[in-house]
Amino acid sequence: MALFDKFKRSDMKVLQQFAESHKGVEAYMEPQTATRPQSLLLVARDGEWARATVADRGQAGAFCKKLGIPYYDAAVVGYPDRMKGYKGKPAPEAPSAEELEAWFAQGTANEPDLG
């Protein structure tokens, strides 16, 4: 068995653990791109997700059937809205002009005189 095969098997084990420990999991087959190999993306009901490289669609389909989870083609149906922004925090609101002025004024008052 090649090292690469072991790597893929461990990836599938991670996906299996994810599917077993989360509710409402769905699978999305992702096509190969210029920067990423073909992969299987699992998305839980709360939006959390996990991804792993798969050898082919047959492996992905068999994996999903074994676990009893729905299986979709991401190139056809897209990605679920619930996963967007899950692993990131919303951007903070931009400071107002008054807050920026106060911040800059405070910053320059504490700078040493280099002259």
- Show me where the domains of the chain are located: 3-109
Which amino acid makes up residue 11? Answer: D
Question: How does DSSP classify residue 68?
Answer: T
| pTM for the predicted model, two decimal places | 0.67
User: pLDDT digits over 32-83, tens only?
Assistant: 988 888 999 999 998 899 999 988 899 899 999 999 999 999 999 998 888 7
Q: Write out the two tokens for 94.
A: 């931009």
User: pLDDT digits over 52-66, tens only?
Assistant: 998 889 989 999 999
- Of 77, 80, 64, 87, the residue nearest 31 (C-alpha): 77
What distances in angstroms separate CA 81 from CA 10, 47, 48, 64, 71, one per listed residue?
28, 8, 11, 21, 16
Q: Is the pLDDT of residue 107 over 90?
A: no
pLDDT given for residue 2 in this prediction = 47
Q: Write out the two tokens for 30.
A: 């992702």
Q: Is the pLDDT of residue 7 over 50?
A: no
